[in-house]
Chains A and B, each alone.
Chain A
Amino acid sequence: MSEKPHIVKSYEEQLQLLKDTIIKMGAGVEKQLEQSIQSATKKDLSLAEKTIKDDETIDRFEVNIEEQVVNLIALRQPMAIDLRETVVALKISSDLERIGDLAKNISKRLISVGVDLPTEIVKNLEIAGLKAAKQVNSVLNSYLHRDKAVAESVWNSDEEIDQITNVNMEAAVKHLEKNKSDIKKVTQLLFVLKNIERIGDHATNVAEQTYFLITGEYLEGDRPKA
């Protein structure tokens, strides 16, 4: 349904501000994710440090969204699409905040092992990271443009990140078998790979929420998993 504006302009503006804040938070999280992966691929740990610092901004966005949602519920008593808009914003902000935390954690681990990493694992990390970043970008677009087909597509694609993660984990273990002295680095990289997989899960949660926001219905069936 395409929506007419509310009769009460200030209510319309408050709901618009909520949507805008989610999009700004999403853009911040995308940047965090991108930087954290690039700190490994470009061997530039200043990007990892920046990612860690940027997480404070993301956390503040989450608090701000929570305040907006509580105010809307207390003062406007939203109904139907407005109620879904309000409740979904709260849940999406929570998933975005977790993605930010995971990007921060990736950065911390990369700082702890330095830039001299096994090339093959870094390559795999880049493939998985780009895929996860694409998922986050697509789901934010589906939220922005109210595109349920894109939300569904993100939901269905999570399986691919799971598969990539499984392959990458196996490759990392094989590398370790041949290069036992890399144990500290590879252990940290295994966590990094797992974090990327978790980021995909959060993007899928956002896709579920966005689909509910648009349709008022829940995506049916079990999420595809590898």
Chain B
Amino acid sequence: MNKITARDVNVFYGSKQALFDVSINIQEKEVTALIGPSGCGKSTFLRCMNRMNDVIDICRVEGSIKMDDLELNSNKLDVVRLRENVGMVFQKPNPFPKTIYENIAYGPTIHGLAQSKEEMDQIVETSLKKAALWNEVKDRLDEIGTGLSGGQQQRLCIARAISVSPEVILMDEPCSALDPIATAQIEELIDDLKKEHTIVIVTHSMSQAARVSQKTGFFHLGKLIEFGETEKIFKNPDNQQTQDYITGRFG
């Protein structure tokens, strides 16, 4: 079932067009990987799905992006509610300079998701467990989040993202600053999270896209060149440009 349906999405930064007629169906409770060379538009497209482009003054988005039946590219949309439903994890772990507990409790607090301290404790514990971090931090929840290792910080950010139970999680190169073990832990987590969440991940690592995703989209110069089953894309893509890119023949 489609969770997000984009139709003819065009994005402009001032007079420069960054995306050209992108249409894509993101399947529910699957991992969709977006790949392509730097500047191809994959992150721009990712940011369309939680209206992060709104923070760039000169950015203009045209076309339709629907999550279920809700039009995301509409002036009437409540962007705060949207971001409760569409979480995001960035390239560099960016925990708040607060305690581990406060990092997780922040979202549920502003969205009013917990009625009592016990309920909040429960949300913090569940989120950290889902992010596979609980066992490592359960005895030091009052320590500062930025004191954790890089991989732990990224899992803390994922725990923070899932604390408000979003249906969709967007990840923008979530492992590019992590070592292979921390990367494997995040990938294991992605596998687990897809049971309850729809995940869209931008990655420069071909092998990561191949490992974690069920669908892959290849972007080039602002266009979605090929989109399909990950197995098909990495074994026998239809498009020559896709093949050149994934086999290192690009340029």
Question: Are A81 and B243 in contact (CB-based, < 8 A)?
Answer: yes
A 68-112 binary contact with B (CB < 8 Å = 1; else 0): 000000000111111110000000000000000000000000000
The reply to whether the CB of B135 lies closer than 8 angstroms to some CB of chain A is no
Question: Are A79 and B206 in contact (CB-based, < 8 A)?
Answer: yes
Question: Are B236 and A80 in contact (CB-based, < 8 A)?
Answer: yes
Q: Is the interface of A mostly helix, strand, loop or mixed?
A: loop
| CB-defined A-B contacts under 8 Å, sample of 20 | A1-B243, A3-B247, A4-B249, A7-B248, A7-B251, A77-B206, A78-B247, A79-B206, A79-B234, A79-B247, A80-B234, A80-B236, A80-B237, A80-B243, A80-B246, A80-B247, A81-B243, A81-B247, A82-B247, A217-B236
Q: Is the interface of B mostly helix, strand, loop or mixed?
A: helix
Question: Are A8 and B246 in contact (CB-based, < 8 A)?
Answer: no
The reply to whether the CB of A42 lies closer than 8 angstroms to some CB of chain B is no
The reply to whether the CB of B210 lies closer than 8 angstroms to some CB of chain A is yes
Question: How far is it, in angstroms, between the C-alpha of A79 and the C-alpha of B235 when the chains are bound?
Answer: 6
Chain A residues positioned under 8 Å from B243 (CB to CB): 1, 3, 80-81
Where the two chains meet, the residues of B that have a C-beta atom closer than 8 Å to any C-beta of A are 206-207, 210, 234-237, 240, 243-244, 246-251
Which residues of chain A (1-44) have a CB below 8 Å from chain B?
1, 3-8, 11
Q: How far is the CB of B38 from chain A (nearest CB, A)?
A: 15
| Given A7-B248, A77-B207, 10 extra CB contacts under 8 A | A1-B240, A3-B244, A6-B248, A79-B246, A80-B234, A80-B243, A80-B247, A81-B247, A84-B235, A217-B236
The reply to whether the CB of A224 lies closer than 8 angstroms to some CB of chain B is no
Q: How far is the CB of B242 from chain A (nearest CB, A)?
A: 8
> Looking across the interface, which residue of chain A has its beta carbon closest to that of B243?
A80
Chain B residues positioned under 8 Å from A217 (CB to CB): 236
The reply to whether the CB of A114 lies closer than 8 angstroms to some CB of chain B is no
Chain B residues positioned under 8 Å from A11 (CB to CB): 248
Chain B residues positioned under 8 Å from A3 (CB to CB): 243-244, 247, 249
Question: How far is it, in angstroms, between the C-alpha of A83 and the C-alpha of B232 when the chains are bound?
Answer: 12
Question: Are B210 and A79 in contact (CB-based, < 8 A)?
Answer: yes
Instruction: Assess A84 versus B248: contact at CB under 8 Å? Given A1-B243, A77-B207.
Output: no
Question: How far is it, in angstroms, between the C-alpha of A8 and the C-alpha of B236 when the chains are bound?
Answer: 21
Which residues of chain A (185-226) have a CB below 8 Å from chain B?
215-217
Question: How far is it, in angstroms, between the C-alpha of A4 and the C-alpha of B246 when the chains are bound?
Answer: 12
Chain B residues positioned under 8 Å from A84 (CB to CB): 235-236
Q: How far is the CB of A71 from chain B (nearest CB, A)?
A: 16
Chain B residues positioned under 8 Å from A79 (CB to CB): 206, 210, 234, 246-247
Question: How far is it, in angstroms, between the C-alpha of A19 and the C-alpha of B247 when the chains are bound?
Answer: 17
Question: Are B235 and A83 in contact (CB-based, < 8 A)?
Answer: yes
Question: Are B235 and A216 in contact (CB-based, < 8 A)?
Answer: yes
Chain A residues positioned under 8 Å from B247 (CB to CB): 3, 6, 78-82
Question: How far is it, in angstroms, between the C-alpha of A81 and the C-alpha of B206 when the chains are bound?
Answer: 14
Question: Are A7 and B235 in contact (CB-based, < 8 A)?
Answer: no
Among B240, B243, B244, B247: residue with most chain A CB under 10 A: B247
> Looking across the interface, which residue of chain A has its beta carbon closest to that of B207?
A77
Chain A residues positioned under 8 Å from B210 (CB to CB): 79
Question: Are B235 and A80 in contact (CB-based, < 8 A)?
Answer: yes
Q: How far is the CB of B185 from chain A (nearest CB, A)?
A: 20
Question: How far is it, in angstroms, between the C-alpha of A82 and the C-alpha of B237 when the chains are bound?
Answer: 12
Chain B residues positioned under 8 Å from A6 (CB to CB): 247-249
Question: How far is it, in angstroms, between the C-alpha of A77 and the C-alpha of B251 when the chains are bound?
Answer: 20
Q: How far is the CB of B36 from chain A (nearest CB, A)?
A: 15
Chain A residues positioned under 8 Å from B207 (CB to CB): 77
Question: How far is it, in angstroms, between the C-alpha of A217 and the C-alpha of B235 when the chains are bound?
Answer: 10
Nearest first, the 9 closest Cβ-Cβ pairs linking A and B are A216-B236, A4-B249, A79-B246, A82-B247, A80-B243, A6-B248, A1-B240, A79-B234, A7-B248
Q: How far is the CB of A57 from chain B (nearest CB, A)?
A: 32
> Looking across the interface, which residue of chain A has its beta carbon closest to that of B237?
A80
> Looking across the interface, which residue of chain B has its beta carbon closest to that of A8?
B248
Chain A residues positioned under 8 Å from B249 (CB to CB): 3-7
> Looking across the interface, which residue of chain B has its beta carbon closest to that of A7?
B248
Chain B residues positioned under 8 Å from A8 (CB to CB): 248
